[in-house]
Amino acid sequence: MTTYYDSAWFDIKVCAEMVRTEGPSVGHVKHLVSELVTMANGTADGKIDTCYYRHESAKAASSTTQYDLNASLTDAFGQTKTFAEVVMIAVLNRRTTALAYLIVGPHTATPFGRLSANLGFWPADIAADNDQGEIVGPALSDSEPGMLILYDPTGVPAGAGATDIFSVICSAVVGATNEWDILILGRSA
Amino acid sequence: MAATYTNTAWLDVRICGEQVKIEGPAATGALKNLVSAIVRLSNGTSDGSIDKAYFVHESAKAASSTTAYDFHTSLTDAYGQVCSMAEITTIVIRNTRTTALAWIVLFPSAVAPFGRLSGSKGFWVADIAGDLDQGSYIGPGGFRIFHAPIGVPVSNGVADSISVTCSAVAGDTNEWDLLVLGRSA
């Protein structure tokens, strides 16, 4: 019998360092925002049992890539990944072409992540004009990607056939060279 | 000698999804899906650098209240210096309230909204119908990180403000951390 066991951890630190110099007087302030979290295997809050990763490449200008959280994603073991709740989405834009951004947001069909029952990553669509979503700017170099990281330990529900798709849309900057890393962590129930 | 201020920053991001395949009594496969970026932002105003940093821990914010941040004029840093930014590279916001469903939403302000896509730069999409449905919801205990190495422009009086609005969940106990990195030019 084959079983699969997914878990995750993240270690994220962002630090601003501010030095004041005034003759012999020196001040030094560090503002550190730090999160170190381990998510054991499970379906309770604070845990995950479903993980999906992909490096996308050679994506055309203005193309749309859909992520159907209920049916279409398969992992490196060939297993279909079905998310009932999503706790984290990380998108790293790896293209270095100037202005070649990505939009990450609810897909127009069965949009995932819009606020409902006080859970969501993006607002409800007031005028149904599909202008939710966040921008991930281009990388400056291979080691300096544009980044967008969404994290909600409670989990944002993915309703099968109703609210289960988000998309990544490429800018119109010429060239089928858009590429990004995407990691999705969540729970199957 | 006049005081001088030198601001720098760094980001260390590592997120790992681990998958183990088990057949019978033994693990027969293991995958580590690691997304990682370690970035040093030296002092300066060119891409890849910063020279402005703003941090605040907000607390005791009322239900349904809105707090605005004007990146051009109203923020002061830990040394009391006005923190006027021309470009923003990084926004980190962490909802530190733990009450169930007590989200906060970070969004371009209704007046002089910062960060909507313009000139192919932004943190949020443009507002198609002018109905203010851009923004980022952060659930209790959650966070959001934006990092744009090339920066998102701040335009004085035109596109320089973001807001954080709290959910209607009862209690004047909303709180969050906000860290903003950027450049003065």
Which residue in B51, B58, B101, B124 has the most chain A C-beta atoms within 10 A of its own C-beta, making it the best mutation to test that interface? Answer: B124
Partner B contacted by A36 (CB < 8 A): no
Alpha carbon of B21: minimum distance to chain A alpha carbons (Å): 5
* Joined tokens for residue A93: 């834009």
Q: pLDDT tens digits for B26-66?
A: 778 889 999 999 999 999 999 999 999 999 999 999 999 99
> pLDDT at position A177, please?
97
Q: How far apart are CA A158 and CA A68, in angstroms?
A: 9
Q: Is beta strand B4-23 parallel, antiparallel or unpaired with respect to A2-22? A: antiparallel
Name the β-bridge partners of B132.
none
Q: What is the pLDDT of residue B73?
A: 84
Least confident segment among A147-151, B21-25, B168-172: B21-25
* Per-residue pLDDT at A175: 97
CB count, 10 Å around CB of B29? 13
Interface test with A, best of B23, B51, B150, B178 (most A CBs within 10 A): B150
Give residue B100's pLDDT. 97
- pLDDT for position B2: 81
Q: Say what the pLDDT of residue A55 is.
A: 96
Predicted pLDDT at A25:
63
> pLDDT by residue (tens digit) across B60-106?
999 999 999 999 988 998 888 899 999 999 999 999 999 999 999 99
Average pLDDT of the segment spanning B137-144: 98
B chain contacts of residue A92, beta-carbon cutoff 8 Å: 35, 37
Find tokens 């990195």 and name the residue: B181
Whether the pLDDT of residue B110 is over 90: the answer is: yes
pLDDT the model gives residue B25: 80
Tokens 């979503």 -> residue: A133
CB contacts of B33 in chain A (<8 Å) are 51, 53, 76, 183
Please indicate if any CB of chain B lies within 8 Å of the CB of A126: yes
Cα nearest neighbour of A49 on chain B: B19
Residue A24: the pLDDT is 67
**pLDDT at residue A75 in the model:** 87
pLDDT tens string B151-169:
999 999 999 999 999 999 9
- Residue-level pLDDT at A1: 80
Section B119-135 average pLDDT: 95
E-assigned strand segments in B51-173:
52-61, 66-70, 87-95, 104-108, 136-138, 143-153, 161-166
Low-confidence ranges of chain A (pLDDT < 70): 24-25
Segment (H or E) for B175: strand B174-183
**Using H for helix, E for strand and C for coil, what is the string for chain A?**
CEEEEEEEEEEEEEEEEEEEEECCEEEEEEEEEEEEEEECECCCCCCECEEEEEEEEEECCCCEEEEECCCCEECCCCCEECCCEEEEEEEEECCCCCCCCEEEEECCCCECCECECCECCECCCCCCCCCCCEEECCCCECCECEEEEEEEEEEEECECCCECEEEEEECCCCCCCEEEEEEEEEECC
